Structure 1
């Protein structure tokens, strides 16, 4: 059956992974975002899952959370701006339209009027909808807490809302590409700045998928990424001298503590570098 971890805006699940933590989603949090507390299973977010037969049973909840504004800032810093969201939206929509047209041409697949009509309806919706339409529909879904398994009994008049709720995977029909950070960045644009964003990994730890202490899981997941680039790499700040480093470091930690973990600073002591503009260039 497997275990799941979920990313929530408020109490609405927007991204789910099975049997593993998504290192890309985890990377927008920091180790000090971790919270561990006791709760009843019945106190879980019930929109996606819950065990009614053991609703009063206690469990140790393990979550990362921060505010929508802080995560928006972090995503902007690492390149997930609205400009990127718009680009990925258009690319994904174009790919979807191309695929749908291919399916209609393949009569071994669409040799059925109902299937063909469904494909044509999806093509029509995608052609006539833009990013603003999808964001508006997503806002309505999250605000009204539409169920994941079905749309509420009152059928929504918004066709994009109905389209997004066709499958059992939350908002994954939103055209965003393959990186769920893009989807989150899009949705943060319609989320109140102080709204709580939660990444709940309770089931995976409970299911034994990670043997490390919860405090060490962050480094384990980020450290095991084997892609061409290291997801946990920080931006290195170089300056003319050590005093500049100290000023910038202290200022960043004071003014933007939620971004501090994304930067590292040149250590003049270890590198034995001399301070000057010419040395910095060299």
Structure 2
């Protein structure tokens, strides 16, 4: 049968591969997420080995940054549906809203896709027909349902779409997403170091601010409040020759970036003072690429009137 590698929650599998043919899901995890997790085998055998494990709410935040927000997954689903129809001259009767309403109601704790009856080699689409739909019977209740077309479509559907929907169900918020990779490592198909999480340039976000203090504060806040996504963010090094100090230089920087093919996702944060807002209004007139965003620091009423320490006294 070969060595399996699976992504799932509990005993619900969302993606699977064999030997050296698999999707790399390391972007969902951080290095510290390597833990000892359960592996389920036939005859109800359970072994505990290394695997990636992260709470589904942390994975949800990572998915949002990777382009899988609720709005985006609807577009992705519809794109895959249209491509399927074009390639096979066939249509699936399950639109996104039907799929969403079906998946979000799934009781993961009652799903068991590791049963011995599913422990076989399958052709393309067969696993979904015989295993997934067996566990999630609602997928077969739509009008004009065709088992073969449905199996083929859902076996090729981006698993992050399903995972993102599952994260919306509050009953799942205490569950962990697990990527079980150890079997293919033990059998020599890959090295563990090959799947150590490392985000690509396109997945990361570069934050640029007017001054070094802004960057230090934002960096510390992200680390304290959202350490599970802190690895997504890079900051320009302010220790030596920080090149973009001041609103005027930031404006020129943004203009320059708008004219070249940048790979990074870049977020430019301006102060919300008069100068910052003026530059922000100027930049709004520039045709910016989709991966370059400019914002100002938010206004908070709590900061409208507060005591501070001046050179001589508390004001």
Cα distance in 2 for partners of 1:155, 1:85 equals 20
Once the two structures are superposed, what CA deviation does each residue of 1:246-276 show, in whole Å capped at 9, x if it has no partner?
1111111001111101001111124443632
Aligned residues: 233
Shift of 1:72: 0.9
Once the two structures are superposed, what CA deviation does each residue of 1:219-262 show, in whole Å capped at 9, x if it has no partner?
4x758xxxxxx367521111111111111111110011111010
TM-score (norm 2): 0.61
Cα distance in 1 for partners of 2:51, 2:145 equals 27
Once the two structures are superposed, what CA deviation does each residue of 1:10-58 show, in whole Å capped at 9, x if it has no partner?
22111102224523x2112111111147xxxxx523xxxx1549x48xx
Give SS of 2:2's match. Answer: coil
Cα distance in 2 for partners of 1:196, 1:165 equals 32
* Structure 2: unaligned runs, 5 residues or longer: 119-129, 254-315
Higher relative contact order (CA closer than 8 Å, sequence separation 6+): 1
Shift of 1:157: 6.7
**1:203 and 2:183 matched:** yes
TM-score (norm 1): 0.67
Cα distance in 1 for partners of 2:231, 2:134 equals 45
2:218 to 228, 244, 248: 248
**1:239 and 2:239 matched:** no
Call closer, same or farther: CA 1:153–1:246 in 2, change over 3 Å.
closer
Query: Corresponding residue for 1:277?
Result: 247
Pairing 1:84-233 to 2, within 5 Å after superposition: 84-101=72-89, 123=91, 126-127=92-93, 129-138=94-103, 139-140=105-106, 142=108, 144-145=110-111, 147=113, 149=118, 150=130, 156=137, 159-160=140-141, 173-174=153-154, 177=157, 179-190=158-169, 192-211=172-191, 214=192, 216-219=193-196, 222=198, 230=200, 233=203
* Structure 1: unaligned runs, 5 residues or longer: 38-42, 103-122, 224-229
Once the two structures are superposed, what CA deviation does each residue of 1:176-210 show, in whole Å capped at 9, x if it has no partner?
75x43333223333462222111111111111122
Larger Rg: 2
Shift of 1:78: 2.1
The two structures, once aligned, show a CA RMSD in angstroms of 3.7
